[in-house]
Chains A and B, each alone.
Chain A
């Protein structure tokens, strides 16, 4: 037996066990409409209430957290449901972000009558605009690229890697190395990518002035709607036949293969969709936060995308998104006030959430209930982990 490729036998609980059968009628009625009702409530809170009660500054922060939430939707799909530890989501976040940022830079330059973005004038780039920048002047092309480019890269890497059954830890390390390589490459190409500083200082967003608070609020609403739509889409994917198949591949890849499916394709779809979501999140991050740089997409932030999902519950869509938002919030709140403390807390989160609560906070109730019932039973089965 080779230990590296053992499928995770102790998979996190995906769904809480069905409620006791003696649920009263009202409870059953509510249970049936619980998901749409909760979704509606979330939508009202995010799109309706938040812009009314939050200041411009807080709303801007929330917009940033929601972008991380969008990445978490993809992480929940690929990692939570597919068992693919995606440690390189920063690559796709970055590709989407840079595609958007390049267009915004070119649009800004065109608005002031320049042909080159401001930072290129600063570095004195010879030979005019690089050829690979030129198509990004077209807004439709740039918008499409924010999603197509990450998905294409993911499809290429995924097809090569999954087809040869490179999996588990090998896949995780390769995806991480990809994040490192992209960040290093971006830093190296200072004259054409802005180097360590990244791309920043955007003035307009498809004709809207980004310095105007009302337009910042519009960007927030766009992000919130995107998150809600993607969550709804992901949920449909989760409950579809494909979603079942994905879980089957996660839990017993060989058995799925013997049943006549090709696990490589199943995993590829999850990986590519997750990459597209990360790309879109990166693209929306740029107008909301106003910067994209290698520091936001390297190894450390890439793992950061995973931790939020792990804390909230990787296999639970809502848990993963809320976890990502909460961790991002904690990071910006704590890292300013007490940077050392935040690093310790982040490390502790990894250890506790992943090590001892693999289902995340979303599974807390199930775990507690199981613990209570199993301690009642005499001689409870040993060795059953969550």
Chain B
């Protein structure tokens, strides 16, 4: 029983990290059909922001709280800049965007290596987040609980923005029908940039959260990016609900399989499962219904 609970908690916390990363992706991928391989490097930027802030501030708790908005701004600005410089020129070529942003990601990784050095660095977690609480005989690491809570908060916040604000309405309009939105007077270019800013900013905050569970390095983002993309592919684009369900299901699946087999076998089984799932729902779990030929 304890084992099951333990594994479930591990799975849920893997899912929470995946969710945090996939949230930004599903936004940009859903709206613009853009595969941003540099998303992982925005995570890395957020993680290094925490590291940089911690030195002058000293207090781990204050610096972590401060790092969240700062990382959002840093990663968001990087994303907006990338959108403005490159991505908006490539809207008709989504596959090429993938390769171009991969090139950007290579350069950003090397930049991090040049600035911070190749070895991983470790930030100090605030005292509150280093222990664990025991519930029903299961030790729950507080850092993991924090990430879970933070991920859910981000989902709620993003959902609220999308559902209630004028910006959210514009974003949804562009996702559903870009051409119609444009003739209705929505400045789709500006909406795109804002979306990219928010999506990349979310990646930055995910990076801050990642500093709590391990050392960070130039390849921190790359380690998560493929899994995060799989979440988006399975969850379906442009819908938060799909990303939330998929992230937790994949996280649980991963942790259960890792427990009963090995890490490497788990990866292969999850991938086979995803290909099988796409046989059933090639557009992913949830999708924006359109009449266009897919």
Taking Cβ atoms with an 8 Å cutoff, the residues of A that contact B are 1-6, 8-10, 83, 85, 87, 157, 160-161, 164-166, 168-170, 172-174, 176-178, 180-182, 184-189, 254, 299, 303, 306-307, 310, 340, 343-344, 346-351, 354-355, 358, 385
A-B contact pairs, 21 of them (CB 8 A): A2-B287, A2-B290, A4-B29, A5-B294, A8-B95, A157-B275, A161-B275, A161-B278, A166-B282, A169-B94, A169-B95, A173-B229, A176-B226, A184-B263, A185-B264, A299-B226, A340-B110, A348-B107, A355-B86, A355-B89, A358-B96
Which residue of A3, A87, A177, A187 contacts B94 across the interface (Cβ within 8 Å)?
A3
B2 interface residue (CB < 8 Å to A): no
By beta carbon, the residue of chain A nearest B272 is A181
What 4 A-B pairs are tightest by C-beta distance, nearest first?
A350-B103, A188-B264, A3-B33, A347-B107
Q: Which residues of chain B have C-beta atoms less than 8 A from A307's C-beta? A: 99
Contact between A340 and B113 (Cβ–Cβ < 8 Å)?
Answer: yes
Contacting pair A10 B93 (CB below 8 A): yes
| Interfacial chain B residues near A351, Cβ < 8 Å | 86, 100, 103-104
Interface of B, helix, strand, loop or mixed by DSSP:
helix
Asked if B53 CB lies within 8 Å of chain A CBs, one says no
Cβ-based interface call for B267 (8 A): yes
CB distance from B236 to the nearest CB of A (A): 10
Contact of A350 among B93, B102, B109 (CB under 8 A): B102
**Which residue of B98, B105, B288 contacts A172 across the interface (Cβ within 8 Å)?**
B98
Contact of B282 among A165, A185, A349 (CB under 8 A): A165
User: Quick check: is B164 within 8 A (CB to CB) of the other chain?
Assistant: no
How near does chain B come to A225, taking the closest CB pair, in angstroms?
A: 31
Q: Does B139 contact A (CB under 8 A)?
A: no
Specify which of B92, B98, B106 is in contact with A343 (CB 8 Å cutoff): B106
In the bound assembly, the distance between CA atoms of A310 and B100 in angstroms comes to 11
Contact A1 B177 (CB under 8 A): yes
Shortest distance between the CB of A178 and any CB in chain B (Å): 7
Q: How far is the CA of A9 from the CA of B96 in the complex (A)?
A: 12
Extra A-B contacts (10), CB below 8 Å, given A1-B290, A185-B267, A343-B107: A5-B33, A10-B93, A165-B294, A174-B275, A176-B229, A185-B264, A340-B110, A349-B103, A351-B104, A355-B90
CB-defined contacts of B222 to chain A, threshold 8 Å: 299
CB distance from B276 to the nearest CB of A (A): 8
Distance in angstroms between the alpha carbons of A177 and B271 in the assembled complex: 7
B99 is contacted by which of A299, A310, A343, A348 (Cβ under 8 Å)?
Answer: A310
Expressed in whole angstroms, the minimum distance between the Cβ of B21 and any Cβ of chain A is 14
Choose among A87, A170, A344 the residue that contacts B233 (Cβ–Cβ < 8 A): A170
Known: A10-B92, A254-B293, A346-B103. A2 touches B33 (CB 8 A): yes
Which residues of chain A have C-beta atoms less than 8 A from B106's C-beta?
343-344, 346-347, 350
Q: Say whether B134 faces chain A, with CB atoms less than 8 Å apart.
A: no
Indicate if B128 sits at the interface (CB-CB under 8 A). no
| Chain B residues within 8 Å of A87, by CB | 98
Which chain B residues lie closer than 8 Å to A306 at the CB level?
Answer: 99
Cα distance A8–B33 in the bound complex, in angstroms: 12
Chain B residue with Cβ nearest A176: B226
Q: Choose one: B32, B100, B114, B230; the contact of A355 (CB below 8 Å).
A: B100
Provided the pairs A1-B290, A185-B268, A355-B89 are in contact, do residues A350 and B100 lie with their beta carbons within 8 angstroms?
yes
In angstroms, Cα B229 to Cα A176, docked, is 10
B102 and A303 form a contact (CB under 8 A) = yes
Q: Is B80 an interface residue (CB 8 A)?
A: no
Cα distance A340–B114 when bound, in Å?
A: 8
Q: Report the minimal beta-carbon distance from A55 to chain B, rounded to whole angstroms.
A: 32
What residue in chain B is nearest A11 (Cβ atoms)? B93
CA–CA, A344 to B109, complex, Å? 9
Cβ contact of B35, chosen from A160, A169, A184, cutoff 8 A: A169
Chain A residues in 8 Å Cβ range of B31: 3
Q: Which residue of A lies closest to B179 (CB)?
A: A1
Do A354 and B290 contact each other (CB < 8 Å), given the known contacts A166-B278, A181-B268, A347-B107?
A: no
- B292 lies within 8 A of chain A by Cβ: yes
